A = this chain, B = another copy of it.
Amino acid sequence: MNKEKIEKPENKCELQKILDIIGGKWSMSIIYALIPEKRRFKELERIIPGISTRMLVKELKNMEENGIVTRTAFATVPPTVEYNLTAKGKKLDPIINDLYQWGLEYIN
């Protein structure tokens, strides 16, 4: 029937909306993998240790809907699909890098 998103009138605070976008178990790893260059689907699956096909698809879809990445499909055989960071997504680069550095300094 109605497959539209249910607009809950919650006013989640900003930080929680952000976590909806990049708080998933794999989102940051995916962004991190896309920082140096655009990647193909299987490439991401290989680069990111432990991720499942299902989750990679889900997170990529979510991030695409949220304007973090772009998906470009080429009608080749076999199919080729490239994922890339948008400008919006690239703005997250330094932040994720800072987080990463913080982790290196303080974890373990």
Residues of A that sit less than 8 Å from B by CB: 13-19, 21, 23, 25, 28-29, 32, 49, 67, 88, 91-92, 94-96, 98-100, 102-107
Instruction: Label chain A's interface by main secondary structure.
Output: helix
Known contacts A19-B25, A23-B23, A99-B95; is-contact A104 B14 (Cβ 8 Å): yes
Copies of this chain:
2
Q: Is the CB of A67 within 8 A of B106?
A: yes
- In Å, the complex CA distance between A6 and B90 comes to 37
Q: Is the CB of A102 within 8 A of B98?
A: no
Using A15-B32, A16-B25, A18-B103 as known contacts, list a sample of 15 further A-B pairs with CB atoms less than 8 Å apart, ordered by residue number in A: A13-B29, A14-B100, A14-B103, A14-B107, A15-B29, A17-B103, A17-B107, A18-B102, A18-B107, A19-B23, A19-B25, A19-B28, A21-B107, A95-B95, A95-B99
